[in-house]
């Protein structure tokens, strides 16, 4: 797929996709690791969710700053600085056992990840040819999901105790700097023009795409943090409770490219509605299959893969509407909405898990999809407001 691009675009896409995919391995190892540590320490699920939400707050603050920082330092240098900050935060987790200090470390880690994802996704969207943008973003999602699949699998091997899992995560994130360095300065995208997002104009132009970022932020972050807890409360052994995330991630390896190719050939807003409907139905149905682990695991695989298309297609829809500096600002706004989902989703899902343990997690997820469908009906239905 990248072979059809010119050499500079192919080099840019390879560097950006490789960087963020390697970071994804470390991130997907760390999120369930921290959740399992807090659960083992006796914290209730809503406190676990609040810890996750701190990363969302850091993202909400850092996203609008990222275009400004990228103009100041350049895309390549800013990525390297963010990777160094993420490694420092992971080493802090490894050598500090005070959960209060972990809140600050999560803020630093969340800020570094915000910069990495905003800059990398802008780089990918800017370098991808418009006619193949959906497919290339699907390829990006596939590699990122492969990273997310490997993280929990590594955690199931290393276990959640001791320094080793944190040190492995730090080494992986540090390795993400290699493709950025190898690509060279000339391959990096340039961000020019105003650095601060014009949020009012962006929200007015692409409300459904930004709502997709909000929905997926709540879904993905809450699921990564609390699905292992759901598994433990449902009676799964610890290794299988974590392996659930690998099944969801493998779905996101298989589905993004065909879904991205479909997005290049059809109306992206309709696809978002179809994916949300599927997510709603799956959230209601999956808890009924917990006793049959094969059926439940297959359901998680398919459900996670299709719902993962919400993020990819939302990003592609955004890239259809903005170019240049406005695309960088729109990407920052998209990550801001994702971060709002990170902040609001995990505490709400944690409350659902506490109130109706264990299936309350999936009931709360169904409510998230239903809210998105209501917004889509307001924006696209027969009674929508015409501009």
Of the pLDDT bands very low, low, confident and very high (cuts 50, 70, 90), residue 188 is low
**Which of 296 and 58 is assigned the larger pLDDT?**
296
pLDDT tens readout for residues 239-257: 888 888 888 888 888 999 8
- Using CA atoms, how far apart are residues 329 and 118, in angstroms rounded to an integer? 9
Query: What percentage of the chain has pLDDT greater than the value 90?
Result: 22
386: in domain: no
- Using CA atoms, how far apart are residues 231 and 284, in angstroms rounded to an integer? 16
- Using CA atoms, how far apart are residues 313 and 311, in angstroms rounded to an integer? 6
Mean pLDDT of 344-369: 89
Asked if pLDDT for residue 218 goes beyond 60, the answer is yes
- Using CA atoms, how far apart are residues 125 and 327, in angstroms rounded to an integer? 8
Q: Are 226 and 360 in contact (CB under 8 A)?
A: no
385: in domain: no
pLDDT score recorded for residue 387? 45
270: in domain: yes
88: in domain: yes
* pTM: predicted TM-score of the whole model, two decimal places: 0.78
Mean pLDDT of 271-295: 93
Kindly report the CATH number assigned to the domain that includes residue 317.
Answer: 1.20.1250.20
Domain encompassing residue 312:
7-380
278: in domain: yes
Q: Are 210 and 339 in contact (CB under 8 A)?
A: no
Q: 308: closest CA among 147, 145, 151, 116?
A: 145
2: in domain: no
206: in domain: yes
310: in domain: yes
* Mean pLDDT of the residues in the chain: 84
Task: Specify the DSSP class assigned to residue 169.
Answer: H
pLDDT score recorded for residue 264? 84
**Two structure tokens written together for 340:** 């709002």
- Among 85-99, 205-219, 231-245, name the most confident range: 205-219
Asked if pLDDT for residue 131 goes beyond 60, the answer is yes
Domain count within the chain: 1
pLDDT tens readout for residues 73-109: 888 889 899 999 999 999 998 888 777 788 888 889 9
């Amino acid at each position: 797929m990248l072979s059809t691009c010119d050499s500079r675009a192919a080099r840019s896409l390879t560097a950006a996709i490789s960087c963020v995919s390697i970071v994804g391995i470390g991130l997907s190892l760390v999120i369930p690791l921290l959740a399992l540590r807090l659960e083992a320490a006796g914290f209730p699920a809503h406190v676990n969710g609040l810890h996750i939400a701190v990363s969302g707050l850091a993202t909400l603050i850092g996203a609008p700053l990222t275009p400004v920082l990228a103009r100041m330092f350049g895309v390549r240098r800013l990525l390297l600085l963010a990777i160094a900050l993420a490694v420092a935060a992971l080493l802090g987790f490894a050598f500090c056992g005070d959960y209060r200090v972990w809140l600050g470390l999560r803020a630093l880690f969340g800020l570094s990840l915000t910069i990495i994802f905003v800059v990398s996704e802008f780089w990918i969207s800017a370098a991808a040819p418009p006619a193949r943008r959906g497919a290339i973003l699907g390829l990006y999602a596939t590699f990122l999901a492969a990273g997310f699949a490997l993280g929990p699998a590594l955690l199931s091997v290393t276990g959640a105790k001791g320094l080793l899992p944190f040190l492995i995560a730090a080494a992986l994130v540090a390795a993400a700097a290699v493709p950025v360095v190898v690509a060279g300065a000339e391959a990096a995208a340039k961000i020019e023009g105003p650095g601060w997002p014009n949020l009012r104009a962006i929200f007015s132009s692409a409300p459904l795409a930004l709502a997709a970022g909000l929905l997926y932020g709540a879904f993905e972050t809450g699921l990564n943090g609390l699905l292992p807890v759901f598994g433990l409360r449902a009676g799964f052994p610890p290794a299988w409770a974590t392996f659930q995330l690998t099944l969801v991630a493998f779905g996101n390896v298989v589905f993004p490219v065909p879904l991205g190719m479909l997005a290049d050939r059809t109306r992206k807003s309709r696809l978002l509605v179809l994916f949300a409907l599927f997510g709603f139905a799956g959230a209601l149905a999956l808890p009924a299959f917990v006793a049959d682990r094969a059926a439940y695991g297959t359901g998680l695989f398919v459900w996670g893969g299709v719902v993962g298309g919400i993020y990819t297609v939302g990003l592609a829809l955004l890239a259809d509407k903005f170019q240049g500096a406005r695309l960088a600002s729109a990407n920052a706004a998209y990550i801001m909405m994702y971060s709002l989902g990170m902040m609001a989703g995990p505490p709400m899902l944690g409350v659902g898990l506490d109130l109706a343990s264990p299936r309350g997690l999936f009931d709360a997820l169904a409510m998230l999809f239903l809210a998105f469908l209501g917004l889509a009906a307001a924006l696209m239905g027969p009674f929508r407001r015409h501009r």
